[in-house]
């Protein structure tokens, strides 16, 4: 498969993996042929890199958890030592006009996901005193936020569920924060508010302003696998790109542009179905059976999306 060759070249020459405590994490890989290989462990980042170059998987994941014996297949025998708090904000879960309309990577939908990530980070830092260890563009339709604070590592599934409920405003009742005096409605908080009171004030007017739309399953699972920062997303060919919180103040187009791994040259693509729309930055229109010469990154993206096949 031509795409596999491009992936191998990227991992051999350009990849910069961003993962700490490699020796304490479980790694998992999805080969280009399908299936899933789990419970792999490595003593160093260099050993991991050699494996990835040799095997060239389509997807690479690592555990949020740290283990005494990460290579053990029996979860009970791994020796759980704690787990990062992971938050996944994905366009698939956002009920916005841009995200409802988009099945491919859309800059408009990603802009909505970026704003949700900014809201999450604001709540983590200002309300909970938690500072993200890393923020990552997933290489597809969203962002991952990793928290490695010592007090967060020991949280079990129950505590993480409570945190999810807090972020998603489960059980929030706007009526508890207002009262009627005759014909007047009195809101029961100070005019100058900050932190979670500011969110409550906004939530009384619009509940969507209070909720943070995270994928709750990812956060509460203490054995969760997450896409490895610095690896390629096997659905798009884009890099799962580590970011700074300052990057989230920029246009998403600049983030996606930095995540493009395959900039050189062009490839021929035969379309396997009709396609009309914008893919990444390019407008593409083709009928089934058409052959077009496209930038390499776009050709790889369309093949991974099963829109067309690259011709050698």
Q: Which residues are catalytic?
A: 88, 90, 215
Q: In whole angstroms, give the CA distance from residue 87 to residue 188.
A: 32
CB 4 within 8 A of CB 294: no
Are 290 and 306 in contact by the 8 Å Cβ rule? The answer is no
Determine contact, residues 119/212, Cβ cutoff 8 Å.
yes
CA distance 124 to 111: 20
- Count of other CB atoms within 10 angstroms of residue 201: 18
CA 310, chain centre distance (Å) = 27
How would you class 303 by CB atoms within 10 Å of its CB: exposed for 0-12, middle for 13-18, buried for 19 or more? Answer: buried
Q: Are 225 and 40 in contact (CB under 8 A)?
A: no
**Inter-helix orientation angle 195-205/107-126, to 10°:** 130
Instruction: Report the alpha-carbon distance of residue 286 to residue 269 in Å, rounded.
Output: 10
Q: Are 271 and 286 in contact (CB under 8 A)?
A: yes
Cβ count within 10 A of residue 213: 20
> Token pair of 92, please?
């698939």
Q: Which of 10, 66, 72 is nearest to 38 (CA)?
A: 72
């Amino acid at each position: 498969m031509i795409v596999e060759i491009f992936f191998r070249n990227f991992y051999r020459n350009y990849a910069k993996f961003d993962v700490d405590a490699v020796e304490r994490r479980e790694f998992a890989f999805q080969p280009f042929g399908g299936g899933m290989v789990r419970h792999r462990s490595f003593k160093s980042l260099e050993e991991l890199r050699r494996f990835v170059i040799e095997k060239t998987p389509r997807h690479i994941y690592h555990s949020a958890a740290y283990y005494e014996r990460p290579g053990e297949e029996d979860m009970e025998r791994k020796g759980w030592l704690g787990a990062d708090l992971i938050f996944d904000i994905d366009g698939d879960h956002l009920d916005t006009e841009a995200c409802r309309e988009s099945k491919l990577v859309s800059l408009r939908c990603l802009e909505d996901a970026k704003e949700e990530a900014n809201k999450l980070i604001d709540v983590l830092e200002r309300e909970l005193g938690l500072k993200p260890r890393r923020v990552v563009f997933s290489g597809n339709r969203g962002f991952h936020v990793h928290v490695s604070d010592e007090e967060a590592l020991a949280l079990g599934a129950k505590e993480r569920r409570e945190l999810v409920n807090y972020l998603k405003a489960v059980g929030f009742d706007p009526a508890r924060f207002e009262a009627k005096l005759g014909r007047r409605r009195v809101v029961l908080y100070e005019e100058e508010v900050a932190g979670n009171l500011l969110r409550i004030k906004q939530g009384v007017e619009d509940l969507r302003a209070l909720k943070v739309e995270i994928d709750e399953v990812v956060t509460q699972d203490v054995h969760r696998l997450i896409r490895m920062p610095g690896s390629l997303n096997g659905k798009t060919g884009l890099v799962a790109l580590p970011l700074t919180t300052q990057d989230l103040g920029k246009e998403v187009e600049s983030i996606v542009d930095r995540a493009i791994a395959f900039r050189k040259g062009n490839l021929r693509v035969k379309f396997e179905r009709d396609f009309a729309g914008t893919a990444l930055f390019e407008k593409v229109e083709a009928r089934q059976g058409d052959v077009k010469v496209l930038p390499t990154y776009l050709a790889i993206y369309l093949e991974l999306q099963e829109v067309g096949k690259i011709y050698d």
